[in-house]
């Protein structure tokens, strides 16, 4: 991410803003932000989630984040309101740092499109 100073700046702004709004004492990490996106996409804000549901929320978020890149396609929403996606194309082999940049870029794009930043 150090190669793209604008992305780094937007990422820092986003984490600062989200942390101020959703975390009282520490900066939100990438997993917390992905979870938050999953809750946003599900739209069931005021309920407690079980451990396995939290994992599904993170999966929903990853699918939604990578959908614009052509890796996933939204299929349908089930009777309980959970969105389902299909893999369109497997992610290419990426190093850990490259994965991090891709997901941070996708998160920044997501929140930009939502006009949050």
With contact defined as beta carbons under 8 Å apart, do 77 and 35 qualify? Answer: no
- 25-78: per-residue pLDDT in tens? 788 999 999 999 999 999 998 889 999 999 999 999 999 999 999 999 999 999
Confidence of residue 116 (pLDDT cuts 50, 70, 90): confident
> In the prediction, which pLDDT does 43 show?
93
Backbone angles phi, psi at 63, to 5 degrees: -60, -45
Count of alpha carbons within 13 Å of 104, Cβ hemisphere only?
A: 23
- Number of structural domains found in the chain: 1
pTM of the model: 0.90
In the predicted model, what is the mean pLDDT of the chain?
92
**36/33 Cα distance (integer angstroms):** 5
Residue bearing the bigger pLDDT, 22 or 82? 82
Using the predicted structure, report yes or no on whether residue 86 has a pLDDT greater than 70: yes
Confidence of residue 3 (pLDDT cuts 50, 70, 90): low
Residue bearing the bigger pLDDT, 39 or 3? 39
CB atoms within 10 A of CB 35: 19
- Which structural domain, as residue segments, surrounds residue 106? 5-113
């Amino acid at each position: 991410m150090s190669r793209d100073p604008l992305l780094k700046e937007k990422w820092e702004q986003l984490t600062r803003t989200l942390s101020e709004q959703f975390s009282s004492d520490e900066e939100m990490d990438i997993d917390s932000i992905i979870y938050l996106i999953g809750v946003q996409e599900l739209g069931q804000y005021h309920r407690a989630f079980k451990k396995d549901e939290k994992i599904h929320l993170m999966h929903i978020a990853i699918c939604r984040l990578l959908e614009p890149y052509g890796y996933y396609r939204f299929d349908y929403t089930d009777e309980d309101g959970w969105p389902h996606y299909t893999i369109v194309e497997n992610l290419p082999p990426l190093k850990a740092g490259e994965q991090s940049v891709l997901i941070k870029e996708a998160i920044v794009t997501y929140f930009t499109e939502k006009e949050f930043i």
